[in-house]
Amino acid sequence: MGKFQLSRLIRPNIADLKPYSSARDEFTSSDNRKIFLDANENPFDNGMNRYPDPKQTIVKNSLAQIKGINQETMLLGNGSDEVLDLLIRAFCEPGKDNVISLPPTYGMYEVIAGINNVENRRVLLTDKFQPDLQNILAQVDVHTKLLFLCSPNNPTANCMDREIVKRLLTEFSGLVVIDEAYIDFANEPSWLEELANHPNLVITQTFSKAIGMAGIRLGVCYGSREIIQILNRIKPPYNVNELTQRAALKRLKGWGSIREQIVKLTEQREILKEALSSVPFVERIFDSEANFLLVKVDNAEKRYKEFLNLGFVVRDRSNQPLLANCLRITIGTPEENNYLIKSIKK
C-alpha cells in the first residue's frame, strides 16, 4: 500500500472547486460602527437579523483553549452527522470509492456512505469488540478512502486498543476517522494528543453527549490544517447557526459543571452495573467507558417490552452482529437510575 498523500485522496472536483465566498467571508470586522449593507439582511435589530459568523471564531477560541489545540485544526458542523458527511463528500467519489466501518457500531457511517453512493465495507469487530487488523487491511484497495473507528464504541461501550489503532494509522494510507462521541466518559486519553504525529488522523467529537447539548446540534472535527482547509471549502457557509453558537459558548464557560456531571455519570454507571449484575435475567454486562451499559439478557425482545411497561425506554441492539439479546441502557440521573433498579427488583 502506498504512503499517505492527501492530494491523492481528495476528489478531483473538490480539489478544483472555487468555494462560495459569503459576505462575511469577504469582510469581517468587530468594529460595530460599520454599517453593514453587504448581505441583504433585514437591518432592523431583533438580535437575530444578522448572519452568523461562518468561521465560528469565538466558539472555536473557547474550545481551542479547553482542548489545548489550535483552532485551525478544528471544524464545526451541524452535529457530527454533518461532519461525517463532509468527510465522505470531500474524499469519496460516488460509485467508485469505498469506506470501511466495523460493526457492531454506530449506524450513521453506513447510512451517510449510502446516501453518497459510496460503498461501505463491513469488517466485524473481533469477539473482544476490537478491530480485526488483518481482515481490515485485506479489505483495503486503491479506492478505500476512509476507515471509521468509534472509540469508545457505540454500542459496545469499550475503547479500541491503542496498539491496533496505531498500526491502522501507519499501515492504512487513507484517513482514519476516530469518532470520540463518548471520550469524556473514558479512562483513556483522547487521540487528540496524537494529531500532530499522524497526518491521516481525523477525530470527531460532539456537544450531544457529555457536554449535554444534543438540542443545539454541534459536532466537531479535528485534523491537520490541510484536511480542515479542505472541509472548510465545502461546508455550507453558515452551517452553525447563531443560536447554536451562543448556546455553545455559554455552556463552555461552565466547563467545571460539565466535568462534575461527567464524574457523577461515570459513578452512576458503576452503581447501575453493580445493581443490574444481580438481576436474574441479566446474563452479562459489558465493561463500559461510555455513558451507557450494554447488557446481555435472556430474551431481549421480552425484556425490552417489560422495561417499556415499567416506563423505561431502552435500545434493543440485538439485531446487530455479535449482539444477540443485547440491550443498551443509557445512564440517567441518580433518581432515574434508582427508580430503574427498584422497578426491576419488584
Q: State the minimum distance, in angstroms, from the CB of residue 284 to ligand PLP.
A: 21
CB neighbours of 261 closer than 8 A, spacing ≥ 6? 210, 212
Q: State the minimum distance, in angstroms, from the CB of residue 220 to ligand PLP.
A: 9
CB neighbours of 194 closer than 8 A, spacing ≥ 6? 169, 201
Q: State the minimum distance, in angstroms, from the CB of residue 119 to ligand PLP.
A: 21
Q: State the minimum distance, in angstroms, from the CB of residue 289 to ligand PLP.
A: 13
Q: Find the distance separating the first CA and the last CA of the chain, reported in whole Å.
A: 58
At residue 231, what is the residue type? L
Binding site for ligand PLP (CB under 6 A): 79-81, 106, 150, 154, 179, 181, 206, 208-209, 214, 219
Q: State the minimum distance, in angstroms, from the CB of residue 183 to ligand PLP.
A: 10
Q: How far is CA 153 from CA 83, 186, 261, in A?
A: 18, 11, 21
Other CB atoms within 10 A of residue 167 CB: 15
By beta-carbon proximity to ligand PLP, the closer residue of 158 and 206 is: 206
By beta-carbon proximity to ligand PLP, the closer residue of 98 and 291 is: 291
At residue 263, what is the residue type? V
Structural contact between residues 269 and 331, judged by C-beta atoms closer than 8 angstroms: yes
DSSP alpha helix (H) spans, 144-241: 162-171, 225-234
Residue 94 C-alpha cell reads as 460516488
By beta-carbon proximity to ligand PLP, the closer residue of 91 and 109 is: 109
By beta-carbon proximity to ligand PLP, the closer residue of 142 and 214 is: 214
Q: State the minimum distance, in angstroms, from the CB of residue 99 to ligand PLP.
A: 15
Q: How far is CA 260 from CA 65, 89, 185, 263, 264, in A?
A: 19, 38, 12, 5, 6
By beta-carbon proximity to ligand PLP, the closer residue of 62 and 206 is: 206
By beta-carbon proximity to ligand PLP, the closer residue of 179 and 184 is: 179
Phi and psi, residue 265, nearest 5°: -70, -35
By beta-carbon proximity to ligand PLP, the closer residue of 52 and 79 is: 79
Cα 242–chain centre separation: 22
The long-range contacts involving 251-258, CB below 8 angstroms and separated by at least 24 positions, are 251/207, 251/211, 251/212, 251/213, 252/59, 252/62, 252/63, 252/66, 253/62, 255/66, 258/210, 258/211, 258/212
At residue 212, what is the residue type? G
Q: State the minimum distance, in angstroms, from the CB of residue 297 to ligand PLP.
A: 21
Q: State the minimum distance, in angstroms, from the CB of residue 184 to ligand PLP.
A: 12
Q: State the minimum distance, in angstroms, from the CB of residue 208 to ligand PLP.
A: 3
By beta-carbon proximity to ligand PLP, the closer residue of 73 and 206 is: 206
Residue of minimal Cβ distance to ligand PLP? 79
DSSP alpha helix (H) spans, the chain: 6-9, 12-15, 23-26, 57-67, 79-91, 108-115, 133-139, 162-171, 225-234, 242-253, 255-276, 300-310, 334-345
Structural contact between residues 99 and 88, judged by C-beta atoms closer than 8 angstroms: yes
By beta-carbon proximity to ligand PLP, the closer residue of 116 and 338 is: 116
